[in-house]
Amino acid sequence: MNKLIAAIGILAAATAATAQHHQRGHQQQAQPSPYAGQQDRSIKSLSDKEVADLLGGQGMGLAKAAELNGYPGPAHVLEHAAALGLSGAQRSASEALMLKHKAVAREIGKELVAAERGLDAAFAGRTIDAARLASLTGEIGLKQAQLREEHLRTHLEQTALLTPEQVSRYAQLRGYAVAPGSQPAASEASQPKHH
């Protein structure tokens, strides 16, 4: 009798678990995709902000490898010109670099948006095939690489215009480094003090 009661209990638990799992499956199916609403975009793979940033030559995090490893960019160098003590020549060179960079980044951004629009149109018009897909995504990848290279190269060129002290000060101003004497380094703070 005890075995029968145990078997019925196990069967009831298994049935309840299966019903819960099945119910959760239906609930998950009812959840809208995170892409819901994006089908109305003019270019499905790019938000309006991304298009505007590309056309405006914005950084979009493309130069983080440089920025976060001690290679300042001209936009923030000019923003902190007084605190960095830029000379007139440094300011002029940084402004010229920024103007040149923005023009190139905007042009590549325009070409990238056009390439993304072409890919979207090929899918929307059902004219895509494997060869066209390879061509279009190859073009997009090339434009993405060119744009990133442009942003990173600009950081290299900007850094060459600064002194090592200005590069260090820039890191402090941007919150990447602590000003000397203001706080102990994390490794020092964690070391036991010997008296």
Mean pLDDT of 44-54: 96
> What CATH number does residue 154 fall under?
1.20.120
Average pLDDT over residues 128-146: 98
> Which DSSP string corresponds to 102-140?
HHHHHHHHHHHHHHHHHHHHHHHTT---HHHHHHHHHHH
User: How long is the chain?
Assistant: 195
Query: 67 in a domain, yes or no?
Result: yes
Domain span at 122: 45-177
Q: Taking residues 143-149, report their average pLDDT.
A: 98
H helices, E strands: number in the chain? 9, 0
**pLDDT at residue 30 in the model:** 78
What confidence score (pLDDT) does residue 55 get? 98
Question: How far is 62 from 39, CA to CA, in rounded Å?
Answer: 26
Task: Let me know if residue 121 belongs to a domain.
Answer: yes
Task: Report if residue 83 sits inside a domain.
Answer: yes
CA–CA distances in Å: residue 159 to residues 51, 77, 89, 172, 182 = 29, 10, 14, 15, 25
In a domain, 28, yes or no: no
> Phi and psi for 184 in degrees, rounded to 5?
-70, 150
Residue 90 falls inside a structural domain: yes
Residue 79 maps to a domain: yes
pLDDT for 44 beyond 60:
yes
Looking at per-residue confidence, does 26 or 43 come out higher?
A: 43
Determine how many CB atoms are found less than 10 A away from the CB of residue 99: 11
Q: Establish if 123 belongs to a structural domain.
A: yes
Q: Is 135 inside any structural domain?
A: yes
Q: Which of 20-34, 56-70, 75-89 has the lowest mean pLDDT?
A: 20-34
pLDDT value for 195: 39
Q: Tell me how many domains the chain contains.
A: 1
